[in-house]
């Protein structure tokens, strides 16, 4: 199938990044959210990010206005149903995602492919609640979407080959690389990354090192561009905890038990950069470790 029009549900950090790269690559985009403010903020952020790319010579100046012209916004799911490919990028909670797909189903075209940008939730389970499990799969972008080159494509047990090939072609048109992953908890990237972050939190929790020494050790000792606690703040500690819970529940192995300190930070509302406090305090000119 030739995908020309893409629906993106959720105008947050991931959703606006997905809309950005889709529009820049020539797809018409319908960006949906339940909040008009979120949609307005997303458009402003996309415009800003495109302008930054142009100022650095990564894209032509004309590409900015052309990409923005390809993006329309709507608070009505019915408008998303008129697309060839839907990418759900809402909050990482299964009940929310299920409710979105339930509401979206009556408005879909027969050929529309449904996908989720979930970082950990079962694709097979999400697909089973729809009328098209064979045309449903995981389409997991990395954050920040305009910068990161990888997209995980995750087949559910019922996903057919045409759906996979169509989504793989879309990834190629974006100039990104697809990694095919099986539908097991957290897939590839987060199956490896999140336990490392969780172990870094345990290292902090047990007093083996402080925030700064843990991050510096991994940056200078393992050549990581960001320390694991700094990265956790960037991702969002609530997201990290949600993925660890999916791993722990789905695989029933104690090595995936979320660190109590990670849970405590989330309970405090210290979720990282998005709330200005996490393992670092971002309210001043430079981030300051909170432990």
- Establish whether 58 is an annotated binding residue: no
The pair of structure tokens assigned to 134 is: 């064979």
Q: What is the DSSP string of 104-129?
A: HGGG--TTPEEEE--SSS-HHHHHHT
Q: Could you tell me which of 111, 118, 43 has the C-alpha nearest to residue 83?
A: 111
For 147-175, how does the pLDDT look when each residue is reduced to its tens digit (9 = 90+)? 999 999 999 999 999 999 999 999 999 99
For 62-82, how does the pLDDT look when each residue is reduced to its tens digit (9 = 90+)? 999 999 999 999 999 999 999
Residue 221: predicted pLDDT: 98
3-class secondary structure, 150: strand
d(Cα 188, Cα 238) in Å, to the nearest integer? 20
Contact 154, 181 (CB under 8 A): yes
Q: Are strands 177-181 and 280-281 parallel, antiparallel or unpaired?
A: unpaired
d(Cα 260, Cα 187) in Å, to the nearest integer? 24
CB neighbour burial string for 207-220, b if at least 16 within 10 angstroms, e if fewer:
eeebbbebbebbee
- Establish whether 223 is an annotated binding residue: no
d(Cα 212, Cα 133) in Å, to the nearest integer? 46
- Establish whether 12 is an annotated binding residue: yes
d(Cα 243, Cα 246) in Å, to the nearest integer? 5
* Mean pLDDT (the chain, rounded): 97
pTM comes to 0.90
Residue 235: predicted pLDDT: 92
- Establish whether 13 is an annotated binding residue: yes
- Establish whether 97 is an annotated binding residue: yes
Q: What are phi and psi of 199, to 5 degrees?
A: -70, -35
Residue 7: predicted pLDDT: 98
Q: Which domains does the chain have, with CATH numbers?
A: 5-182 (3.40.50.720), 190-289 (1.10.1040.10)
Report CA Rg, the chain: 19
Determine the straight-line distance between the first and last CA of the chain, rounded to whole angstroms.
52
Residue 1: predicted pLDDT: 84
State how far the alpha carbon of 70 is from the alpha carbons of 176, 195, 264, in Å: 20, 39, 43
Angle between helices 189-205 and 211-221 (to 10 degrees): 140
- Establish whether 10 is an annotated binding residue: yes
- Establish whether 41 is an annotated binding residue: no
For 212-238, how does the pLDDT look when each residue is reduced to its tens digit (9 = 90+)? 999 999 999 999 999 999 999 999 999
* Residues tagged active-site: 119, 140, 152, 190
């Amino acid at each position: 199938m030739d995908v020309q029009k893409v629906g993106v549900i959720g105008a947050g950090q991931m959703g606006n990044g997905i809309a950005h790269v889709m529009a820049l690559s020539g797809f018409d985009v319908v960006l949906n959210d339940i909040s008009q403010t979120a949609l307005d903020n997303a458009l402003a952020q996309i415009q800003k990010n495109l302008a930054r790319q142009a100022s650095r010579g990564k894209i032509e100046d004309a590409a900015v206005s052309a990409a923005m012209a390809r993006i329309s916004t709507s608070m009505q799911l019915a408008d998303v149903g008129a697309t060839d490919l839907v990418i759900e990028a809402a909050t990482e909670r299964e009940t929310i995602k299920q409710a979105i797909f339930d509401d979206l189903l009556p408005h879909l075209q027969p050929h529309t492919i449904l996908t989720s940008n979930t970082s950990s939730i079962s694709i097979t389970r999400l697909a089973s609640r729809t009328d098209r499990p064979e045309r449903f799969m995981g389409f997991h972008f990395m954050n920040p979407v305009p910068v990161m080159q990888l997209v995980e494509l995750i087949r559910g047990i019922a996903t057919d080959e045409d759906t996979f090939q169509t989504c793989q072609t879309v990834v190629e048109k974006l100039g990104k690389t697809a990694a095919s992953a099986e539908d097991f908890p957290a897939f590839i990237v987060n199956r490896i990354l999140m336990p490392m972050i969780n172990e870094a939190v345990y290292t902090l929790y047990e007093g083996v090192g402080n925030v700064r020494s843990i991050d510096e050790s991994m940056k200078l000792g393992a050549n990581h561009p960001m320390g694991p606690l700094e990265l956790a703040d960037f991702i969002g500690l609530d997201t990290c905890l949600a993925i660890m819970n999916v791993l722990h529940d789905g695989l029933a192995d104690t090595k995936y038990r979320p660190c109590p300190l990670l849970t405590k930070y989330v309970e405090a509302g210290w979720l990282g950069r998005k709330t200005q406090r996490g393992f670092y305090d971002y309210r001043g000119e430079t981030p300051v470790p909170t432990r």
